[in-house]
Amino acid sequence: MIQVRVPATSANMGSGYDSIGIALNLYNTFYMEESDTIDISSTHGDDVPTDESNLIYQCAKKIYDICGKPLHGLKIVEDCAIPQTRGLGSSSACTVAGIIGANAMLGNPLDQQNILDLAATIEGHPDNSTPAILGGFCAALLEYGKVWSVRVPIADKVDFVAFIPNFELSTEKARAAIPKTIPHHDAVFNLSRAALLAGSLVTGDLKNIGVAVGDCLHQPYRFKLIPQGEEVVKSAQGLGALGAFISGAGPTIIAVVDKADRTYFSRAQMYFAERFPNWTPMLLDCDEVGAVVTQE
Ligand code: HSE
C-alpha cells in the first residue's frame, strides 16, 4: 500500500490572504491502493465520504485521467488528526494526498512543480496546498494554472497555539463573506504587513509580528461568522502572544508565541478552560518536511 502523510497548514496568517501559509506538525495519514471497487474507510470512525464524492478519490482519479490510465477503484484508509472544516488545511491535505498517492501508484510521472500546480488549481488558491507539499513557511501565487512559490526557512523562535472551536465554518461560506472590491489603502495595509511578516519570521524580529499579522481584507468580514472569534484573538494576545489571526478561512484562531515564553500554553489552557470552554488550545510547531509518501 502507498502511505501518504500530509501536514496541517495555516493559510493567510492574517495579512497574507491567499498568498502565505505555514505547515504545522499535525498530520493526516492516508493509505491507498488500486482496487476493483471504491472502498473508503477511516481509522477513528471519522465521518468521511465513502463514495465517488470523496476528495482524495476525485483527485487521484484526475491524475489517472491526466495520465491516460484507467482507475477502476481505490481502497483508501484515512487516519485523520487534522480537525475537519476548521481552517487547518484538512481539505488541502486530502487534495495533496490524492495527487501524490496517485502519482506514486503510477510510477511518479508528475514532478514537484506539476504537483504544486495541480493541487493549487484544484483548491483555487495556493496558500494551503503549497506548504502542505513543501513543508515550512511558504509564499505562493497561482497564475494561469502555474504556482510561483518559495519556501522560506523561518527563525526557530516562535510556537503556534491553535485555538480550535467545537464548530465548523466552510471555506465556501467564509469566502462568500468577503467583498469583491476593496479600497486602494486596504490593499496597501495588507501588502505592507504581509511583506513585514515574511521578513520578520525569517529574521526572528519578533517585535514586528503583532502589527504584521494585521489584516483588513478578510478577517473583519469573517469574524461575523465566528462567534467569540474576536474575543479569542484579544484573549490570546492578552495572555502574551506576539500576534493572533484567523487560521485560513477559520474558524480556528492561531496565536504566534515567543518560544522563550515557556508557560504561555499552560496559561492559555487554564484561561480557556474557564472562559472559552468551546475552544481547545493546541500547541504546534512548524513542520519542516511537508507531504511524505512511502510504499509498504
Ligand atoms: N486563503 C484561503 C482563504 C484559505 O482564506 O479563503 C482557505 O482555504
Q: Is the CB of 88 under 6 A from ligand 1?
A: no
Angle made by CA atoms 68, 73, 79, in degrees to the nearest 5: 115
The per-residue pLDDT for 47 is 86
Which residue has a Cα nearest atom 4 of ligand 1?
A: 248
- For ligand 1, mutation pick of 9, 10, 12 (most atoms within 8 Å of CB): 12
Q: Is the CB of 171 under 6 A from ligand 1?
A: yes
Could you give the 3-state DSSP secondary structure of residue 99? helix
The per-residue pLDDT for 44 is 83
Q: Is the CB of 248 under 6 A from ligand 1?
A: yes
The per-residue pLDDT for 45 is 81
Q: Is the CB of 131 under 6 A from ligand 1?
A: no
Q: Is the CB of 222 under 6 A from ligand 1?
A: no
What count of other Cβ atoms lies within 10 Å of the Cβ of residue 275?
Answer: 12
> Which atom from ligand 1 is nearest to the alpha carbon of 89?
8
The per-residue pLDDT for 231 is 98
Q: What is the pLDDT along the chain (296 residues), one digit of tens a residue?
A: 999 999 999 999 999 999 999 999 999 999 999 999 999 999 988 889 999 999 999 999 999 999 999 999 999 999 999 999 999 999 999 999 999 999 999 999 999 999 999 999 999 999 999 999 999 999 999 999 999 999 999 999 999 999 999 999 999 999 999 999 999 999 999 999 999 999 999 999 999 999 999 999 999 999 999 999 999 999 999 999 999 999 999 999 999 999 999 999 999 999 999 999 999 999 999 999 999 999 87
Q: Which triple of cell numbers denotes residue 190?
A: 495588507
The three state secondary structure string of 115-165 is: HHHHHHHHHCCCCCHHHHHHCCEEEEEEECCEEEEEEECCCCCEEEEEEEE
Q: Is the CB of 119 under 6 A from ligand 1?
A: no
> Which atom from ligand 1 is nearest to the alpha carbon of 91?
8
Beta-strand (E) ranges in the chain? 2-11, 20-35, 38-42, 73-80, 137-143, 146-152, 158-165, 243-246, 253-258, 279-284, 292-295
The per-residue pLDDT for 295 is 85
The per-residue pLDDT for 145 is 97
Q: What is the pTM of this model?
A: 0.96
Q: Is the CB of 175 under 6 A from ligand 1?
A: yes
